[in-house]
Structure 1
């Protein structure tokens, strides 16, 4: 065999394996929310910051990797439908929808928190004789059922010796609930921080908040990945998680509070609402990506709660669901192992050395 032929054969052996892996990849990421009027921006955790600041696009610049972001007005249930149809690879989603998806057989792994310990609020019509949770019995109340708001609200009701049967609940998304409250079609609504905008306009009164109440009343969101995508592209999953952790670090810095709220306001929700929502709380408390005992226990207890309310058709468990290796690698690579304080199952800070 001539030298030229041997060199050609060697080059072929070297480059063919590389070419075999040089595939074009699209990373499809779903958000279980959408901004006011369909704005394509979210308001939860490092993932929302990464999207608004195009951090993943910068991470994969120059590579044959495309990032697609999809926002769902139907929130968590719509994300589940998209996952079941094979239309998403990763998603930012709340606790209850993910639990329902797991019980229905969706194969996913929970990678990190992204928007945890979120408060819920109860807003009422200005003329309604409702001063708190105890006054809701028999009232028409809006709730975005099937989202992570539902179980959090149910826990608050239970603490006041009420159940869903005691309330005349109407299932509405956030925008519809605000419109119904303004028109007087409902007496009250459970919702999030944008309810403060109605209060500031004199169109509603916020009469209850989980802020300062039992931390187990809060709701959580996370980043998940389908098992199929993780199996096919673990290296891409790692880079996505690392990018999201970088964003969570930035979003946890008090020096960035004003800019963070302005980024979230791209969703059409006012900055004032976020200022109300975070009053008296540090950014790091809410922007923690950690898979700590509090987060795991919260999901475990909500699985049981969902079973008690007969919201699940099948079985679900936290066993084998959380996959912390990508988060742990990112924390170590970025030197952020001590950036956030983990909480125990009861929501108390865990002492670290």
Structure 2
């Protein structure tokens, strides 16, 4: 049977329907590309393993604490690890290659002095100890013995000003010591060959004693807390202005990880996670011996931390590491951590009491 052609009225209806369908197809927005979030570590594991250690952001990364923070396809996380530590992170931020970074106090101060627009949004690995390792043949048994000796130091990192404070407390200055700029693996190798007499470094040096390469002749454990080193999570101002909700979710993930890392029941598992970096677990046991986990994993930005960064900024200027004073005011933003604490229902004043500028606990946890 021959089909009759559509009449004018039916043709008009079909044309309108086709037009509506075309409009719907052409105006329906395509699925948005995920936001790329670039997070950098001012450290790298042994043998360039892409794991951090000694801080809560390393737990966030290894434990995948941000996996469920965002709807599928909303965010793409990219983690980077820098052998050049803080100075290399500053360069990456300056080149627009990072949005967030784990960094030490001095490099961040140098970056701020040079115009990097960042905001410190959480503590991540505070009150870290400083270690002085000396070769057995050097005869060095104390800080005072460093006068005129060849000593390695990773300059530009948060060890530098901590070292200067320790030297000053023992009647020495940088000019009294023959400092050589070396990263940690290079300093370790130089200690083994006897090319240097001693080196200032971090807990990794504890492993040198077991191997007979060097002896630990000083560390900051039990000394003035002002001699310790601090690290934090920062965000660029540009990213914060564009994606404050992402900033909050990332900080909330870090606070969750910090609460877990502050629980003494998780001590050995925490060290195992940090051990993914290639640093032997025994080193973390020794470094944290006698130290409550919560003391080092505290993410809060309190008066003690603020005072330490202000001290570091002034010391950096006096030592000629920066050319102009750095204003700390407005750099710290505690809102994200405190919001996370509230949303997660953490009794923070019990777990992470605030401290005054000297490092003493403030009664009642007040600000």
TM bucket (normalised to shorter chain) is over 0.9
Indicate which of 175, 178, 182 corresponds to 1:172.
182
Q: Equivalent residue for 2:226?
A: 216
- CA distance, structure 1, for counterparts of residue 98 and residue 237 of structure 2: 11
CA-to-partner distance for each residue in 1:127-167, whole Å, 9 max, x for gaps?
A: 22111111100010000000000001110001111111000
Aligned ranges for residues 1-353 of structure 1 at < 5 Å?
A: 19=29, 22-60=32-70, 62-336=72-346, 337-338=348-349, 339-352=351-364
CA-to-partner distance for each residue in 1:172-199, whole Å, 9 max, x for gaps?
A: 0011100100110000000111111110
Is the CA contact 1:57–1:67 (under 8 Å) kept in the aligned structure 2?
no
RMSD: 1.9
SS at match of 1:37: helix
Is the CA contact 1:30–1:71 (under 8 Å) kept in the aligned structure 2?
yes
Per the TM alignment, residue 314 of structure 1 is displaced from its structure 2 partner at its CA by 3.6
- CA distance, structure 1, for counterparts of residue 30 and residue 118 of structure 2: 27
Q: Which sits farther off after the overlay, 193-202 or 109-118?
A: 193-202
Per the TM alignment, residue 315 of structure 1 is displaced from its structure 2 partner at its CA by 3.5
- CA distance, structure 1, for counterparts of residue 273 and residue 69 of structure 2: 20
Per the TM alignment, residue 216 of structure 1 is displaced from its structure 2 partner at its CA by 0.3
- CA distance, structure 2, for counterparts of residue 264 and residue 210 of structure 1: 21
SS at match of 2:151: strand
CA-to-partner distance for each residue in 1:270-326, whole Å, 9 max, x for gaps?
A: 111111110110000000001010000000010000000010034311111001111
- CA distance, structure 2, for counterparts of residue 124 and residue 133 of structure 1: 10
Q: Equivalent residue for 2:8?
A: none
Q: Closer, same or farther in 2 for the Cα pair 1:315/1:20, shift >3 Å? A: farther
Q: Flag structure 2 segments of 5+ consecutive residues without an equivalent.
A: 1-12
Larger Rg: 2
Q: Closer, same or farther in 2 for the Cα pair 1:21/1:161, shift >3 Å? A: farther
Is the CA contact 1:45–1:251 (under 8 Å) kept in the aligned structure 2?
no
- CA distance, structure 2, for counterparts of residue 22 and residue 239 of structure 1: 19
Per the TM alignment, residue 226 of structure 1 is displaced from its structure 2 partner at its CA by 0.1
Per the TM alignment, residue 59 of structure 1 is displaced from its structure 2 partner at its CA by 2.3
Per the TM alignment, residue 53 of structure 1 is displaced from its structure 2 partner at its CA by 1.1
Per the TM alignment, residue 350 of structure 1 is displaced from its structure 2 partner at its CA by 1.1
SS at match of 1:127: helix
Q: Normalising by structure 1, report the TM-score.
A: 0.94
Q: Flag structure 1 segments of 5+ consecutive residues without an equivalent.
A: none
- CA distance, structure 2, for counterparts of residue 224 and residue 94 of structure 1: 10
Q: Closer, same or farther in 2 for the Cα pair 1:64/1:137, shift >3 Å? A: same
- CA distance, structure 1, for counterparts of residue 226 and residue 354 of structure 2: 15
Corresponding residue pairs, total = 344
- CA distance, structure 2, for counterparts of residue 257 and residue 202 of structure 1: 28
SS at match of 2:363: coil
SS at match of 1:304: helix
User: Which segments of structure 1 move beyond 3 Å, counting only runs of 4 or more?
Assistant: 19-23
